């Protein structure tokens, strides 16, 4: 039986090539690109804290504007809203409070506020009355404009 030099070389190189591809792919997946890492470290945003039902009631009676996102910890659009909410929290410091409320943990509160979609953003005025409701992902520019129209900004 005659084995060509090409077949012998390929037999030796294919396992090495597969290992290199797997290791390279794992390394690329584990570490974000340099430009992404730089962007992530440049912006330090405070976490938007979730409220409990008692804290929500206290915040509604607190005499300040309140923006609450009713959603879920593992809901993709809710996670996509977090940077927008963090930016609002920073921009509205002292004028309005921004919080999350996890409806899966407190379905009775979700029903009381008639939450049908995750996420739902509700803006309450300083008297605790709902003045704005949006369901779904709320793009930052549209959210800012709606808040300007309501006099929050």
Residue 46 lies in a domain: no
Q: CA–CA separation, 105 vs 88, rounded Å?
A: 25
The pLDDT of residue 26 = 44
Helix (H, G, I), strand (E, B) or coil at 56: helix
Domain count, the chain: 2
Q: What is the pLDDT of residues 31-58, one digit of tens each?
A: 455 554 445 445 567 899 999 999 999 9
Are 109 and 66 within one domain?
A: yes
Are 141 and 95 within one domain?
A: yes
Are 113 and 83 within one domain?
A: yes
Are 25 and 92 within one domain?
A: no
H-run or E-run covering 134: strand 130-135
> What is the domain extent for residue 19?
5-41
- Using a 10 angstrom Cβ sphere, with 0-12 exposed, 13-18 middle and 19 or more buried, the burial of residue 30 is exposed
Alpha-helical runs (H) found in the chain: 5-30, 34-42, 53-60, 76-91, 107-112, 140-149
């Amino acid at each position: 039986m005659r084995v060509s030099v090409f077949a012998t070389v390929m037999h030796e190189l294919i396992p090495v090539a597969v290992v290199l591809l797997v290791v390279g792919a794992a390394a690329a997946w584990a570490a974000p690109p340099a430009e992404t890492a730089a962007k992530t470290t440049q912006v330090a945003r405070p976490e938007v804290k979730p409220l409990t039902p008692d804290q929500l009631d206290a915040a509604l009676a607190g005499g300040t504007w309140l923006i609450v996102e009713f959603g879920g910890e593992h809901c993709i659009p809710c996670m996509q809203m977090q940077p927008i909410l963090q930016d609002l929290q920073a921009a509205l410091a002292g004028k309005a409070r921004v919080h999350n409320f996890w409806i899966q943990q407190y379905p009775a509160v979700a029903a009381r506020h008639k939450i049908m979609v995750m996420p739902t953003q509700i803006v309450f005025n300083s008297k605790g009355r709902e003045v704005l409701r949006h369901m779904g992902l709320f793009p930052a520019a549209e959210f800012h404009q709606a808040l300007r129209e309501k006099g929050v900004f």
